[in-house]
Structure 1
Amino acid sequence: MIDLLIKKCVKDRENTGSLKVRAKVGKVLGYVGIVLSTLLFVVKFLIGMLVNSISIQADAINNLTDAGSNIVSILSFRLAEKPADQGHPYGHERTELITSMLVGIAIAILGFETAKDSVHRIFHPEAIDFKWSAVIVLVLSILVKLWMYLYNTRYGRKYDSTLLLANAMDSKSDTIGTFGVLLATLLSPVLHFQLDGYMGLIVSGIIFYSAYDLLRDVMSALLGQAPDSKMIHTLSNEILECPVVISVHDVLIHSYGPNQNYATAHAVVDGRLSLIDVHSHIDQVERRIKEKTGINVSIHVDPVLLDDRQTQQYHAIFDEMIDALGNHQWEIHDFRIDPHKDHVDVFFDLVVPYAETRSEEELTRLVRDHVKCPGPVQLFIEIDHPIGF
């Protein structure tokens, strides 16, 4: 049914990289979610009142919250498809992440409210008026929510939508929660013990974990998580295909949404080459990467003197020293020297692991204290961390 609906409403549905297509799919699924969640709320809340079950009523309110989340999702997709403007040059795709965070907060609030009502029911138990109609409604609710979880997951992965995947997680927690309510409804009359409050408390714990899981992923993306290693290698290999590039390092990817990715990289080239020729080659590489991957990349050129004996001599000295000081875990990038009459200026980036606890000042002082060069040197060190390729 969902596939037919998407096929009818979204003509260019196979263009998964299109922001407009993703927004259309998200809005269609959002409208479906509103209808289903509202129907579940009405039916389950009435049944919950009929049988005097706090867990069924809480589960119904959960579905009403889902309908509200879907309304927010639709508004989010509308905002996310807006083109870049002067105030937001990187587009509006991160609106999805912000909305996903709001969905996670809503789930957490629901878990708290469910826990509060469940604790009250534990200390003040009330008999549930068992009816098979309640069981049937709960079973149907589980099937509907499971279906919503499956199609949101499938389309969320297909269109790389954090918001659809967030809705899928919400549906998953609903499925688990409703199943717990169903067990309490069936077992309480058999055991002659009111499980309603206890099961509600267990369900609230499951809901809390779902909120934590979702918020953890969203916050990681908002804070700036490590780039995908496959994409790093793809970009590095594309740059290395350039005939003037010797090596690549410091590849960074900044993501502002699935279709708004920017990258920077350092490319080592022979310093004797013409600046115009190097720029022409690098410009071609940047355009080729944009055409192949859709990523806007800016490549910084690091010129090196390949056959300069003095540079090679100093490079070897510092390589050996850094390797010993860092226990084979440190590296040097962008090494160059600038000889003067009375001393030599030495420039390089010192790459140390993230686990290194010493400050930049301490590391710089350590290197200065162990310098053993043929003559006076002045060091210019930039402390860096391993990134990318």
Structure 2
Amino acid sequence: MNLENRAKASQKVTIIGAIIDFLLAIFKVIVGTLGNSGALIADGIHSFSDLLSDGVVLYAAKHSAEEADDGHPYGHERFETVATLGLAIILVIIGIGIIYDAFERLFSPSELSYNVLLLSVAALSIFSKEALYWYTLKVAKTYKSDMLKANAWHHRSDALSSIVVFIGILGSLNGYLYLDGAAAIVVGFMIIYIAWELGLGATKELVDSSIDADQVENLRNAIGRISGVNSVHSLRTRKIGHAISCDVHVQVDPFLSVSEGHIISVSVERVAKECLEDLNDVTVHIDPEDDETVAPYATLPERAEALGMLTKALFSNKCDGEIERIQLHYLDSRIHVDFYLPLSCLESDQSSDEILSKLHETVDALEGFGKVKVYFSKS
């Protein structure tokens, strides 16, 4: 996905929305004040809040498209998540304020004036905000932006609240004066509900919640079918803005070469990205055995120390002269050793069994070491 195009599309749809929000807010507040409609004034304040949210979205759209840097090695996608959470907080504050003001008007209702103008502005708000909802939602789906989706629902909340305002004004004009205040209260609660939905999703992402369980299971099955992968464990996923990140441990044959293990990890990354379209960061850990069940290796010597111990023991037993290479395998909580010797060793008086027996005797005396294998080859 082209991040530059994504940012431009996000900024364009947000600027269009901001212009419409600004005009609607002015119309609603002025006409609501003239017509003495608390519901329309509350709706106008809601539209003014959209301008603030549009500003937050513009800022996030610009910065979330930036490439990863030293300070943000995983990219800037979570600017969108923070912006979504910010929108939710703004909506909650506005919703509470509208409800508080509406309760005062509910118990002290006033007659409305400029009836046609009040209904016209409310109707204009319904149609314009619904159009903005569908336009913004289309861009959000095209570029998989939760932030734009949040802003689209913000537009939908305006459309729904304007419907409630329209009904409230219409009821008040027909003698039910309390309906204007009741409509404003309904608008306030609608705003708070939408804020809850948006804030909950953003919070889950910020605390690194996993993606959908079915997606995780599909990913696990896809990786498990790769040739050379014996099992899959410790599979973890999380969302970072519109993207997905994951890390996984795959168990392979413990005696594979490092290069073959690397090729398997490349295959795991490729298959994982084919399985999850929005997956852009995969960390693959190659395991020779299940490290969730095997005892830790903290007490075993690392390679340099282990080779030092072997070299000293071999020298003491006068059997180190012909060894070309030593390969160590950390398995079953022990160190297993492969010795590589030239075929010329077998031309001497010693047989392969005698050589193996001598090396076994040497290694068995060392603490933490296990099985021994000997391989003969031409130099």
Pairwise same-fold verdict (TM > 0.5): yes
Output the amino acid matched with 2:249. Answer: H
Report the counterpart of residue 261 of structure 2 in structure 1.
Answer: 279
1:190 alignment partner, one of 167, 171, 174: 174
Output the amino acid matched with 1:269. Answer: V
Mapped to 1, the partners of 2:240 and 2:132 lie a distance apart of 27
From the superposition, tell whether residues 302 and 200 of structure 1 become closer, same or farther in structure 2 (CA, over 3 Å): same
Mapped to 1, the partners of 2:273 and 2:248 lie a distance apart of 17
Deviation of the 1:264 alpha carbon: 1.6
Output the amino acid matched with 1:264. Answer: D
Contact 2:224–2:231 at 8 Å: present in 1 too?
A: yes
Question: Are residues 1:64 and 2:48 paired?
Answer: yes
Output the amino acid matched with 2:264. Answer: I
Question: Are residues 1:295 and 2:280 paired?
Answer: yes
Deviation of the 1:237 alpha carbon: 4.6
The number of aligned residues is 298
Counterparts of 1:195-274 in structure 2, within 5 Å, are: 195-229=179-213, 231-233=215-217, 235-259=219-243, 261-271=244-254, 273-274=255-256
Q: State the TM-score, normalizing by the size of structure 2.
A: 0.72
Contact 2:99–2:185 at 8 Å: present in 1 too?
A: yes
Deviation of the 1:346 alpha carbon: 7.8
Question: Are residues 1:37 and 2:21 paired?
Answer: yes
1:164 alignment partner, one of 140, 148, 154: 148
State the secondary structure of the residue aligned to 1:245.
coil
2:121 alignment partner, one of 137, 140, 165: 137
TM-superposition CA deviations, 1:116-143 (whole Å, max 9, x none): 1101112222221142121111111100
Extract unaligned runs of 5+ from structure 1: 1-16, 305-331, 339-344, 348-389
Counterparts of 1:1-389 in structure 2, within 5 Å, are: 17-229=1-213, 231-233=215-217, 235-259=219-243, 261-271=244-254, 273-286=255-268, 288-289=270-271, 292=274, 295-304=280-289, 334-336=292-294
Mapped to 1, the partners of 2:30 and 2:292 lie a distance apart of 70
Contact 2:209–2:238 at 8 Å: present in 1 too?
A: no
Report the counterpart of residue 372 of structure 2 in structure 1.
Answer: none
Contact 1:262–1:297 at 8 Å: present in 2 too?
A: yes
Mapped to 2, the partners of 1:60 and 1:231 lie a distance apart of 42
From the superposition, tell whether residues 170 and 281 of structure 1 become closer, same or farther in structure 2 (CA, over 3 Å): same
State the secondary structure of the residue aligned to 2:109.
coil
Mapped to 2, the partners of 1:285 and 1:124 lie a distance apart of 70
Output the amino acid matched with 1:288. Answer: R
Highest CA radius of gyration, 1 or 2? 2
Output the amino acid matched with 2:285. Answer: H
Report the counterpart of residue 364 of structure 1 in structure 2.
Answer: none
Deviation of the 1:194 alpha carbon: 3.3
From the superposition, tell whether residues 71 and 295 of structure 1 become closer, same or farther in structure 2 (CA, over 3 Å): closer
TM-superposition CA deviations, 1:243-279 (whole Å, max 9, x none): 32112122112332224x43221212222x2332442
The CA RMSD over aligned residues, in Å, is: 2.6
Contact 1:111–1:207 at 8 Å: present in 2 too?
A: yes
State the secondary structure of the residue aligned to 1:125.
coil
Output the amino acid matched with 2:245. Answer: Y
Report the counterpart of residue 361 of structure 2 in structure 1.
Answer: none
Mapped to 2, the partners of 1:194 and 1:262 lie a distance apart of 52
Mapped to 1, the partners of 2:291 and 2:272 lie a distance apart of 26
From the superposition, tell whether residues 241 and 281 of structure 1 become closer, same or farther in structure 2 (CA, over 3 Å): farther
From the superposition, tell whether residues 295 and 82 of structure 1 become closer, same or farther in structure 2 (CA, over 3 Å): closer
Output the amino acid matched with 1:63. Answer: S
From the superposition, tell whether residues 335 and 101 of structure 1 become closer, same or farther in structure 2 (CA, over 3 Å): closer
Deviation of the 1:230 alpha carbon: 5.2
Deviation of the 1:233 alpha carbon: 4.6
Mapped to 1, the partners of 2:42 and 2:9 lie a distance apart of 30
